[in-house]
Amino acid sequence: MSDEPVYQLTLTQRTMILLTVVLSTTIYAGSVLISSALLPQLQGAMSATQDEVSWVMTFNIVATAVATPATGWLADRFGQREVMIAAALFFGISTFMCGASNSLEELIFWRILQGAAGAPLVPLGQTLLLDSSPRSQHVTVMSIFGMSNMIGPSLGPMFAGEIAESFGWRWGFWMLVPVAAAAVIGCWFSLPRSEIKQGTRLDWLGFISLSAGIAAGQIVFSRGQRLDWFESGEIILATLLGCLMIYLFCMHSLTTERPFVRLKLLADRNYALGLILVTLFGMLNFAIIVLLPPLLQQHAGYPESAIGDIIGARGLGSAIGFFAAMPMARLDPRLSLSLGALLQVITGFWLMSFDLNVDMTRLMLCNMLQGMSIGISWVPLTVITFWTLPSQFRAEAMSLFHLFRNFGSSLFISIAVAEIVRTQATNYARMVEYVSPYNRVLEMPWVMGAWAVDTAPGLAKLSGEIARQSIIIGYTNAWVLYVLAAGASIPLCLLARLPKAPAQKG
């Protein structure tokens, strides 16, 4: 393949595009991570349970997943530059409205619109970088893009935590609005105009069936635990609808002449394998930063500012990982992918060892390790996945790539939260069975301490401690799922097909 980029630009123009794309994509990733630092305060302000407040994250991610596949059609129909400008503009408006929300339902609505508006930013931004850079520079460009895209959002929670603690959770969202405005201006002046394909039409049947299938699946995993799974008619209906819509999407896409998503792209081995790996990558990407904040604030006594610092430590780990990925690009990329997955496994085992007395240093080091694993994995995963695909399919293929990443994130968060809620309830019920005046162990002073079974205050303290121990068991089970997902990706990394020639030759 030729080393020439799609757009013939000067070094200055390419640099401006890189800066603009980094700024534009950072605001989306920042909105996900910043809201994770706000979850504990949101739960209290909205009078929501843990699984309910997690919808602020999961429905935002699933909205992105649903809207992402339309990126290719939007870029063909209106042009890459115009779509980037509109996406950044509507993202800024919906972000402002998130901060102005007065109920959980209202906040989730605007978070859904925020996710849908920001959906084209990451795949289109990545496509613009690949199209504007020579093929020999793709590894370097993706390293800079990935590092900036991870470090910036990881620093966001540090500021969001401080702002939320001082001024309230609303300003955690509003702090992103000026950045979105700067992204709109940058896109307007620096991005090149692309060719608009006349007569481009949207495959509405494919779009609606895929969107409905993804949304139904998210409803099942988000509300299943609360509604007792298949004891609920809503869950049964959502499951049947989701399966039917996905089946309809697959059959339609394979038989129509111009499908919404070309499933024939899956014939490319590296691309098909990359979709599986990026799904597992997505499952691990946001899990820690969504699950940890409620645990740390409600049960371990950490303030929002400290939680923001803990999440922000991931940025330093990401920087180390991306810097390491640059020289590692000369090595077998399968080794980089496997090393990143192995670090995720180690992170999961480390998380399983934590209790409610864990200190802040260990939490920050663990987040740094997870960030490092992401930095090491992202560049080889991206390069291998798109190495053999023709450039004319890149925008469409990138959209599907990020669809799988986002759906993996929302899916795992929903499953993990459901497991935490289930395990907490089950273990609480089992442990309170032993709280009885007839239990001789509870008569021992060195066992009971300030607890008591014969006074209301003593029982309340004992109940609270049982709840704390029940929730940590639930989190341990969630980290087990984390380890299993990370471990599953290691053998898959070794199946990737290596490029047959150096990058500069294509």
Q: pLDDT tens, 332-371?
A: 777 888 888 899 999 999 999 888 888 888 999 998 898 8
Domain boundaries, the chain: 11-202+260-428+465-505, 203-259
What is the distance between the alpha carbons of residues 175 and 159, in angstroms, rounded to a whole number?
Answer: 9
User: Is the Cβ–Cβ distance between 386 and 139 less than 8 Å?
Assistant: no
Record the pTM: 0.73
The three-state secondary structure class of 74 is: helix
pLDDT for residue 135: 66
pLDDT for residue 479: 93
Domain 11-202+260-428+465-505 CATH class label: mainly alpha
What is the distance between the alpha carbons of residues 183 and 206, in angstroms, rounded to a whole number?
Answer: 31
What is the distance between the alpha carbons of residues 294 and 304, in angstroms, rounded to a whole number?
Answer: 10
pLDDT for residue 484: 93
Tokens of 435: 């709280």
What are the Cα distances from residue 473, in Å, to 36, 63, 130, 342, 433? 22, 31, 45, 24, 17
What are the Cα distances from residue 237, in Å, to 230, 297, 417? 9, 36, 22
CA angle 25, 31, 34 (to 5 degrees): 130
116 Cβ contact list (under 8 Å, min separation 6)? 63, 64, 66, 67
Q: Which parts of the chain have pLDDT scores under 70? A: 1-11, 33, 36-37, 50-51, 135-139, 143, 146-158, 161, 194-200, 329, 391, 395, 439-454, 498-506
What is the distance between the alpha carbons of residues 307 and 327, in angstroms, rounded to a whole number?
Answer: 33
What is the distance between the alpha carbons of residues 87 and 185, in angstroms, rounded to a whole number?
Answer: 12
Burial of 178 (0-12, 13-18, 19+ CB in 10 A): exposed
pLDDT for residue 1: 45
Tokens of 20: 């603009």
Handedness of CA 73, 115, 124, 409 (dihedral sign): negative
Residue with tokens 């260990």: 362
pLDDT digit string (tens) for 106-148?
888 998 899 888 888 877 877 777 777 776 666 677 767 766 6
pLDDT for residue 198: 60
pLDDT for residue 141: 74
